[in-house]
């Protein structure tokens, strides 16, 4: 479900498919689902992060078996997708062996720290360490142009390259398949299907979303929440308190990509009011199924949306958000056009992305010879 994990999985898969020798280094997780992959995965000890399930705090320093394995690998280039334990491992190896390090900036780390840590001094110290990490990388990538603004606001002053995220949902859209998916999920013919996919955490503005829907209770719609997170119980309580039980369904985590594709395809509108996300994969995944998204104007995530063209934007206001949903419900032809435009303008296959990535890697290797 996690966007960064999906990205890394596709990086490794397609690099391997392109003939590269690749491995993934990541923290352990309790009872991981075993998935057969063609590349090795090296895991190091970790502990759960309080209030951030299922994320883990990696502790590679005490995992001597892991260190021995890594010391015997012949790396040519490292790509870190996180500035913490795995990123520090990559940085240490890169500097010791004098090989290139690429670092992709994915997340709004300051916001994460501020929710968990009340001290501004501590948060500032941690953010300085994050920026120090990116300062030491040979190339820094962001997955969307608007993400550069976030990284600059944290204090990073170096060069930044934009390298898109891709899409791995292969289900081809058709009106017939859309109807089949709607029937399978249980959507009534005259019901407008809304969808949210992502972590159920307050940072993603999920309460804003629920409270917005409360303003249009008289409309025929049904919202499906796909995912899990610490705020799930609070969200369910809010839905019950507002009398939205018959209009909202909590699906839970959906890790099967085919099933997830069916939810995207069945939907009429993808709702993503998050101000927290940088470049969410879910908006692109919805677009791959010809489903347009409604986001908050000015948010980092909304940087790829042209209002009323390949998606929709709302003010950061519950009433306006609700009114935009009603407007889209009342204009199905516009919604259909926006979904098709989104599938053409913001969707690229991971295979295509990784061909570009491989070229960038080779260029960096030659430059640093």
**CA 246, 252, 258, 259 torsion: positive or negative?**
negative
- Structural domain for 78, as ranges: 3-166+350-367
Give yes or no: residues 17 and 98 share one domain.
Answer: yes
Give yes or no: residues 336 and 355 share one domain.
Answer: no
Give yes or no: residues 41 and 160 share one domain.
Answer: yes
Separation CA 270–CA 6 (nearest Å): 19
Give yes or no: residues 249 and 333 share one domain.
Answer: yes
**Residues 221 and 193: beta-carbon distance below 8 Å:** yes
Give yes or no: residues 318 and 266 share one domain.
Answer: yes
Give yes or no: residues 160 and 190 share one domain.
Answer: no
Give yes or no: residues 283 and 333 share one domain.
Answer: yes
> Residue 221: which residues within 8 A CB-CB, separation 6 or more?
191, 192, 193, 194, 213, 247, 325, 329
pLDDT by residue for the chain (369 residues), tens digit each?
Answer: 688 999 999 999 999 999 999 999 999 987 656 678 999 999 999 998 877 777 788 999 999 999 999 999 999 999 999 999 999 999 999 999 999 999 999 999 999 899 889 999 999 999 999 999 999 999 999 999 999 999 999 999 999 999 999 998 877 788 899 999 999 999 998 999 999 999 999 999 999 999 999 999 999 999 999 999 989 999 999 999 999 999 999 999 998 889 999 999 999 999 999 999 999 999 999 999 999 999 999 999 999 999 999 999 999 999 999 999 999 999 999 999 999 999 999 999 999 999 999 999 999 999 998
Q: At what angle do helices 350-367 and 3-17 cross, to 10 degrees?
A: 70
Separation CA 272–CA 292 (nearest Å): 11
Q: Whole-prediction pTM value?
A: 0.90
Separation CA 42–CA 63 (nearest Å): 11
DSSP 108-160: -HHHHHHHH---HHHHHHHHHHHHHHHHTSSEEEESSTTHHHHHHHTT--S--
Give yes or no: residues 204 and 124 share one domain.
Answer: no
Give yes or no: residues 156 and 189 share one domain.
Answer: no
Give yes or no: residues 210 and 278 share one domain.
Answer: yes
> For residue 277, with 0-12 CB atoms within 10 Å meaning exposed, 13-18 middle and 19 or more buried, which class applies?
buried
């Amino acid at each position: 479900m996690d966007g960064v994990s999906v990205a890394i999985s596709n990086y490794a898969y397609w690099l391997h498919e392109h003939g590269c020798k690749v491995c993934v280094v990541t923290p352990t997780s309790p009872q991981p689902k075993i998935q057969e992959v063609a590349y090795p995965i090296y895991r190091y000890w970790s502990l759960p992060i309080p209030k951030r399930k299922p994320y883990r705090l990696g502790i590679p320093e005490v995992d001597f078996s892991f260190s021995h394995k890594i010391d015997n690998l012949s790396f040519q280039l490292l790509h870190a997708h996180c500035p913490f334990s795995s990123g520090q491992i990559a940085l240490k190896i890169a500097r010791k062996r004098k090989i290139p390090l690429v670092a992709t900036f994915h997340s709004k780390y300051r916001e994460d720290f501020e929710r968990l840590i009340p001290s501004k001094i501590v948060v500032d110290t941690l953010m300085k360490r994050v920026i120090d990490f990116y300062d030491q990388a040979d190339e820094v990538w962001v997955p969307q142009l608007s993400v550069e603004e976030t990284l600059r606001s944290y204090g990073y002053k170096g060069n930044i390259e934009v390298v898109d995220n891709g899409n791995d949902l292969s289900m081809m859209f058709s009106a017939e398949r859309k109807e089949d998916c709607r029937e399978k999920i249980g959507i009534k013919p005259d019901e407008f299907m809304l969808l949210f996919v992502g972590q159920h955490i307050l940072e993603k503005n999920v309460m804003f979303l629920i409270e917005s829907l409360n303003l249009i209770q008289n409309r025929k719609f049904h919202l499906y929440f796909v995912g899990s997170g610490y705020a799930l119980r609070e969200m369910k309580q809010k839905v019950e308190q507002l009398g939205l039980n018959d209009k909202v369904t909590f699906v839970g985590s959906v890790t099967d990509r085919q099933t997830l594709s069916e939810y995207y395809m069945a939907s009429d509108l993808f709702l993503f009011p998050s101000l927290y996300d940088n470049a969410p994969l879910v908006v692109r995944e919805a677009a791959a199924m010809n489903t347009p998204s409604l986001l908050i104007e000015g948010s980092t995530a909304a940087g790829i949306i042209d209002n009323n063209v390949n998606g929709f934007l709302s003010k950061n206001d519950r009433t306006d958000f609700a009114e935009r949903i009603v407007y889209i419900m009342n204009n199905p032809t516009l919604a259909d056009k926006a979904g098709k435009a989104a599938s053409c303008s913001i969707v690229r296959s991971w295979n295509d992305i990784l061909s570009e990535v491989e070229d960038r890697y080779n260029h960096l290797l030659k430059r640093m010879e």
